Amino acid sequence: MTESINAITPDTGQIQRRRTCAIISHPDAGKTTLTEKLLLFGGAIHIAGAVKSNKIRKTATSDWMEIEKQRGISVATSVMGFDYGGRKINILDTPGHQDFAEDTYRTLTAVDSVIIVVDIAKGVETQTRKLMEVCQMRKTPVMIFVNKMDRDGILPFDLLDDLEQELHIPVRPLSWPIEMGPKFKGVYTIYEEKLDLYTPAKQTITESVQFKDVNSPDLEKYIGDNEARQLRADLELIEGVYPTFDVNTYLKGDLAPVFFGSALNNFGVKELLECFIRIAPSPRPVRAEERLIYPEKDPFSGFIFKIHANMDPNHRSCIAFLKICSGRFERNANYKHVRFDKWMKLTSATAFMAQKKETVDEAFAGDIIGLPDTGNFKIGDTLTSGENLHFKGLPSFSPEMFKYIENADPMKTKQLNKGIDQLMDEGVAQLFINQHNGRKIIGTVGQLQFEVIQYRLLHEYGAQCRWEPLSLYKACWIESDSREALENFKKRKFQYIAVDKEGRDVFLADSAYVLQMAQQDFKDIRFHFQSEY
């Protein structure tokens, strides 16, 4: 196993050396803390506490303006780039608040691998489960960091079972804890065959004691008789029960290596990072509708996966985040905006190094650059060196909440429609138009978005809207091989048929039962819970 990890040859090319990943977790598991410790190792920051939490403070959940202010902080920390061990690592931050789950799903389309943080006391939580589904859809390789080992929690073997069952992926521990909570002694890093003894140190990086051979009688001296016996037994069990770690299986998204540690105490983080730089993938080929795009072979191309609005009401400006899929980006060069069939000179694109945003002269596949935007971009837009490419795989999921949006100021109809269009392009929420009555329906994943939309329509577009309740269970995208069957279904369910922003047919099911009956009665219709199928 050691060999399979260490055999990876160092990559030296600009693209080959990039590792773009997202750290995801249920709120409070320790994502921000882990990110900060990774940046400390990378020398990108020098003191703990420098990374502002992207977490929405619990006390503020009812005040969305406050939340947006807090989210404003996160623009700076949306992408954090740093160098470590000859690699250029780009960490993409993901909002913890579940009302911004769509943002996180889209961010996952821009990364090549993912680190999942799990709290030892809580195990797998809802948000993590959902995000893992997205990783699996895309076959994104994942590593798991079990955090807060300095606290009592679920027994490690039980936790591994929980991970496998809840995340639907075989796991393989690459480090192993010795006790936990107040008795926590340290971790044994299986792939390096070394023992790191635990020394709580919150503010600085401390060297941990190395220990080579677990079968040596010296082990007892370091961790005690019982612990040494237990560790040997655990390691034997691991070797017997879990598959040998195979890098290629991990790269295919079919096996998740697991690490244990305490981010707050800076423990076990270096081991995770060392393994990450060895096994995490460099930018991978990306599927465009037209063909597969190769990061190194093809000239510049990229897509917009996130648009972040500036909440300053005095000037409407956004940053569009572009993931470079292939080639090299150069400042002042002309690139083609494929949807507009127009060439653009990108003079003030920014790159993200550590927490600084700087004008970028060049960037490479794997990097994320920020483009100042005044309404030119929408999610999924492609920029290329000339070729007409359209990147797939930016799915929308069925929203959880629905409301009719009504015009509250008939003099401002144009402004309202423009505002709705642009906010939907930004990915704030989803728009459906009911084909029966022509009314516009806004679908979101949380109540907050309705407030955000209403406020922004008023302050940025001078338009006023009113919400009307609508009780729906799900919006499903529908299709069929038989045109007749589709038309028949649409006729039978005419009150519940809508189109989305792209003109795709959508069935609005008002209850789980209705949806189930429709699936049963209309066998020729395929019901999809995401827009890409």
Which two tokens mark 398? 């069925």
Nearest distance, CB of residue 185 and ligand G4P, angstroms: 15
CA 125 to chain centre: 16
- The site string for ligand G4P over 59-98 (x = CB under 6 A, - otherwise) reads -------------------------------------x--
Residue number with CB closer to ligand G4P (31 or 412): 31
Nearest distance, CB of residue 257 and ligand G4P, angstroms: 19
Stretch that binds ligand G4P, among 29-37, 63-71, 192-200, 392-400 (CB under 6 A): 29-37
As a whole number of angstroms, the distance between CA 491 and CA 225 comes to 75
Among 56, 124, 174, 264, binds ligand G4P (CB under 6 A): 264
Nearest distance, CB of residue 435 and ligand G4P, angstroms: 42
Cα dihedral angle (25, 29, 35, 40), rounded to 10 degrees? -160
Residue number with CB closer to ligand G4P (156 or 366): 156
Residue number with CB closer to ligand G4P (123 or 302): 123
Residue number with CB closer to ligand G4P (147 or 396): 147
CB burial of residue 13 (10 Å; 0-12, 13-18, 19+): exposed
Which residues, other chains included, contact 458 with Cβ-Cβ below 8 Å and sequence gap of 6+?
464
Among 28, 246, 330, 409, binds ligand G4P (CB under 6 A): 28
Among 4, 11, 14, 27, binds ligand G4P (CB under 6 A): 27
How far is CA 256 from each of CA 2, 101, 245, 247, 419, rounded to the nearest angstrom?
16, 23, 9, 10, 43
- Determine if 55 is a binding residue for ligand G4P (CB under 6 A): yes
Judge contact between 172 and 257, C-beta under 8 A.
yes
- Determine if 38 is a binding residue for ligand G4P (CB under 6 A): no
Looking at residue 3, what DSSP letter applies? H
HEC assignment per residue over 301-325: EEEEEEEEECCCCCCCCEEEEEEEE
Residue number with CB closer to ligand G4P (265 or 531): 265
Judge contact between 93 and 77, C-beta under 8 A.
yes
Nearest distance, CB of residue 181 and ligand G4P, angstroms: 10
As a whole number of angstroms, the distance between CA 150 and CA 172 comes to 22
CB burial of residue 242 (10 Å; 0-12, 13-18, 19+): middle
Among 262, 282, 382, 434, binds ligand G4P (CB under 6 A): 262
Nearest distance, CB of residue 369 and ligand G4P, angstroms: 25
- Determine if 30 is a binding residue for ligand G4P (CB under 6 A): yes
Nearest distance, CB of residue 101 and ligand G4P, angstroms: 14
Which residues, other chains included, contact 52 with Cβ-Cβ below 8 Å and sequence gap of 6+?
73, 74, 76, 77
Phi, psi of 58 (to 5 degrees): -55, -40
Task: For residue 194, give the H/E element and its range.
Answer: strand 194-197
- Determine if 29 is a binding residue for ligand G4P (CB under 6 A): yes
Residue number with CB closer to ligand G4P (118 or 195): 118
Among 112, 150, 373, 505, binds ligand G4P (CB under 6 A): 150
Stretch that binds ligand G4P, among 23-31, 271-279, 329-337, 372-380 (CB under 6 A): 23-31
Among 52, 138, 151, 459, binds ligand G4P (CB under 6 A): 151
How far is CA 217 from each of CA 176, 193, 195, 482, rounded to the nearest angstrom?
19, 15, 14, 72
Spatial CA neighbour of 355 closest among 29, 23, 42: 42
Residue number with CB closer to ligand G4P (43 or 49): 49
How far is CA 275 from each of CA 85, 179, 198, 519, rounded to the nearest angstrom?
11, 23, 19, 46
Among 17, 18, 31, 270, binds ligand G4P (CB under 6 A): 31
Residue number with CB closer to ligand G4P (32 or 326): 32
Query: Three-state DSSP class for 427?
Result: coil
Residue number with CB closer to ligand G4P (263 or 354): 263
Nearest distance, CB of residue 78 and ligand G4P, angstroms: 14
> What residues from 129 to 148 belong to the interface with ligand G4P (CB under 6 A)?
147-148
As a whole number of angstroms, the distance between CA 91 and CA 83 comes to 11
Residue number with CB closer to ligand G4P (148 or 172): 148
Residue number with CB closer to ligand G4P (11 or 152): 152
Residue number with CB closer to ligand G4P (148 or 456): 148
- Determine if 444 is a binding residue for ligand G4P (CB under 6 A): no
Task: For residue 455, give the H/E element and its range.
Answer: helix 447-461
Stretch that binds ligand G4P, among 25-33, 98-106, 298-306, 406-414 (CB under 6 A): 25-33
As a whole number of angstroms, the distance between CA 325 and CA 363 comes to 11
**Which residues of the chain form contacts with ligand G4P (CB under 6 A)?**
25, 27-33, 53, 55, 96, 147-148, 150-151, 262-265
